[in-house]
Amino acid sequence: MSQVILKNATITVTIDTAGAEMISIQSAAGQEYLWSGDPQYWKRHAPVLFPLVGSVWNKEFRVGEKTFAMGQHGFARDMEFAVLSATDTEAWFRLASDEETLAKYPYEFVLDIGYRLGENTVENIWRVTNPAQEPLHFSIGGHPAFVCPKSEGEKQTDYRLWFDTTEPMTSAIVREGGCVSDEKKTIVTEDGYLPIDAHLFDDDALVIQHDQCHKVALVDPAGVKYLTVSFSAPLFGVWSCPGKNAPFVCIEPWYGRCDAMGYVGQWADRTWGNTLQAGETFEGAFTVEIR
């Protein structure tokens, strides 16, 4: 395990080779924007979700006649990545399939994770390549957790979320086994703003699908959008630990989603899954901007 630090005049980002996970985003003034990983609430910072986003029904999935076990959010977040390259402002990490991964996920893959600084931004880039002759089926996503509140003496309920749409959004509801039910709920904002009240995450994450929004910000009590996540992914989640008043909020761009409750079909046929043919590469990304 080791760490790579990216830095310019405005922003410093630290990435751990364990999971190729960001563990700190700091401004030049020393303000920390990324969650500390305190296990009292949630032990992670910004894990990469691969080859699964969310949960599979009964913690298992099927490829042909075989059944495999898989925990929530896949395995990449718990594996050591190799450092491919690192400069002051950009770094790349790699995880490739091997005997260990093939035993629990029967697909060959090369997963490259990149981080690139802008003036006051960090872009998190995912590249998945299929080195095999057979199709590769996968999901991938981000799970970054951001400090909220960011200042002592403030409460999370003093803060708001902002979405780049003023239209009501529809969220799926996570129920049994971390999988979605047929239920839906409507999220109504005031000109794009949504208060973070004590019950916002009672039903677990907000799961917003079908390109309803592509930019989400955290807004402090003074009305400043102090952190904004921009993405092109068709789905995203917003989450914090239900009922714990945890001092962070996750804004999670996804190319994939948990199973629907009761799903017992093939891995290749999962809703929102991605497929690469032999030699193809998928690329996705999201950008975090700080103020």
Task: List domains and CATH numbers for the chain.
Answer: 3-290 (2.70.98.10)
Res 10: pLDDT? 98
The dihedral of CA 244, 248, 251, 256: what is its sign? negative
Is residue 170 within 8 A of residue 185, CB to CB? The reply is yes
The CA–CA distances, whole Å, from 206 to 90, 186, 199, 202, 290 equal 31, 10, 12, 10, 23
Instruction: Scan for tokens 């991964």, then name that residue.
Output: 101
The partner residues of 146 in beta bridges, in order of sequence, read: 34, 249
The dihedral of CA 90, 12, 247, 21: what is its sign? positive
Where the chain has pLDDT below 70, the residues are none
Res 42: pLDDT? 94
Res 50: pLDDT? 98
How far apart, in whole angstroms, are the C-alpha atoms of residue 49 and residue 45?
12
Six-digit token pair at 276? 């690469």
What SS3 class is residue 268?
Answer: helix
Res 244: pLDDT? 84
Q: Please report the DSSP string for 134-184 in residue order.
A: S-EEE-EEE--EEESS-STT--GGG-EEEES--S-EEEEEE-GGG-EEEEE
The CA–CA distances, whole Å, from 239 to 58, 147, 227, 236, 253 equal 22, 12, 15, 10, 12
Res 245: pLDDT? 84
How far apart, in whole angstroms, are the C-alpha atoms of residue 231 and residue 42?
24
Q: Pairing between strand 274-276 and 180-187? A: unpaired
